[in-house]
Amino acid sequence: MLNKTSPGFKFGFQILAVVGALIFTTLIMLLAKAPPLEAFRLIVVGSVGSVGKISDVIVAWIPLLLATTGLLLTFAAGLWNIGIEGQITLGAIFTTWALRLLQDSSLSPGLIIIIGFMAGVLGGMLWASLTGLLKIYGGVNEIFGGLGLNFVATALTIWLIFGPWKRPGVGSMSGTVPFDNSLWLPQVEGLRMSWWSLGIGLIGIAIVYLILQGTYFGLRLKAVGKNGRAAFVIGIPTGKYMMSAFFICGAFAGLAGAVQVLAVYHRLIPSISSGYGFLGLMVAMLINYQALWAAPVAFFFAALNIGSIQLPIVLKLDSALSGVLQGSLVLFVLMMDGVRRRLTAKKVK
């Protein structure tokens, strides 16, 4: 008889969730009169069909991984940091500001790039701290505070692109004037990816894994997330730990914004966050906030995003179909986990 508390039982429900998401997405495609097998094939070929495509997936994977990495800390503290989109955007804005300020200086390009990263971290931390202050001292739920700050960050980006930082003579939706090649993060020859940004992403997730699994700070942070009132009663300063989670998450979000400027777009554009904050929320929920799975699952989601670009070209389908698959995958995983927990609870009784 199968043990309902065994890892195999839990894994079986995860497989059911994946199958359910694929069936649901297939039904959506059939309703749209599109061939499901061909669509799935195009997504696979479009994401891993060549070295260039794999490189594009890695380019998308790095900021998504950084966003997910930061969210693991706020989720551990029981916080829904919806404002991470704005934190990525502020990281990009601060990085752009630093590069514009220093590009004509006598400083070496390498030092300017480092300062750009530091500015991005500062911008992300600043924006995250506003959400934290509203939550802890203003009594504003972090979801509403974060969403409001997301809108402000978007408006600030548009104002800068069409105002103080607009291209000479005309504002353009393509963004600000691109920076000189010397201020780009070094890329692999013939590809868009950078080993430096890849290293930043992998080091980031490794650090957060160690924090959550092997430090007193991580243990206390999870205690705050499990039961903030009980944690406060036993002497844990819950406000301090929640604020720390916002600060660190904002730092990683700011790094993601800096990567978008220094390694991907080389300028500030209106949608600089590329939705990686919201996508990171889905990845974090899908992996049940376990840092060990962040990198592979984030890579899978990035591959879906890049692979779906082929759909409107070949099948005349909207590329948002990958979003349907991603969202349904998270939904089915949460549903199956709920069913598994109920069955397990019945056995315990």
Q: Is the pLDDT of residue 150 over 80?
A: yes
Residue type, 29: M
Quote the pLDDT of residue 323. Answer: 75
Residue type, 172: S
Tens-place pLDDT, residues 192-244:
889 999 999 999 999 999 999 889 999 999 999 988 888 888 888 999 999 99
Residue 290 banded pLDDT, cuts 50, 70, 90: confident
Number of Cα atoms under 13 Å in the Cβ half of residue 30:
6
316: left (phi over 0), alpha (psi -120 to 50) or beta: left
Q: Among 128, 165, 134, 173, which residue's Cα sits nearest to residue 270?
A: 173
Q: Is the pLDDT of residue 289 over 90?
A: no
CA distance 298 to 284: 9
Quote the pLDDT of residue 348. Answer: 46
Q: By the 8 A CB rule, do 295 and 205 touch?
A: yes
Can you say how many angstroms the Cα of residue 54 is from the centroid of all Cα atoms in its chain? Answer: 19
Residue type, 96: T
Number of Cα atoms under 13 Å in the Cβ half of residue 23:
7
- With residue 25 as reference, give the H or E element that holds it: helix 7-31
The more confidently predicted of residues 321 and 1 is 321
Residue type, 122: L
Kindly state the percentage of the chain with pLDDT values over 90: 56
Helix (H, G, I), strand (E, B) or coil at 45: helix
Q: Is the pLDDT of residue 349 over 60?
A: no
CA distance 269 to 176: 7
CA distance 283 to 297: 7
Quote the pLDDT of residue 313. Answer: 72
Which class in CATH covers the domain with range 35-316?
A: mainly alpha
Q: Computed from CA positions of residues 78, 204, 295, 10, in that sequence, does the dihedral angle turn out positive or negative?
A: negative
Q: Among 267, 255, 67, which residue's Cα sits nearest to residue 160?
A: 267
What's the whole-number mean pLDDT along residues 319-343? Answer: 78
Q: Give 204-211 contacts, CB < 8 A, sequence gap 24+.
A: 204/65, 204/66, 204/69, 204/252, 204/255, 205/65, 205/68, 205/69, 205/291, 205/294, 205/295, 208/69, 208/70, 208/72, 208/73, 208/252, 208/291, 209/291, 209/292, 211/73
Q: Is the pLDDT of residue 173 over 80?
A: no
CA distance 71 to 205: 11
Q: Among 284, 283, 287, 285, which residue's Cα sits nearest to residue 305?
A: 283
Q: Is the pLDDT of residue 4 over 80?
A: no
Domain extents for the chain?
A: 35-316
Tens-place pLDDT, residues 97-106:
999 999 988 9
Angle subtended by helix axes 36-48 and 51-76, to nearest 10: 90
Q: How many CB atoms lie within 10 A of CB 237?
A: 13
Least confident of 68-82, 125-139, 313-327: 313-327
CA distance 205 to 227: 25
CA distance 281 to 284: 5
The more confidently predicted of residues 175 and 326 is 175
Tens-place pLDDT, residues 15-74:
888 888 888 888 888 887 778 888 888 888 888 888 999 999 999 999 999 999 999 999
Quote the pLDDT of residue 295. Answer: 93
Q: Is the pLDDT of residue 118 over 60?
A: yes
Least confident of 6-15, 23-32, 167-176, 303-312: 6-15
pTM (2 d.p.)? 0.90
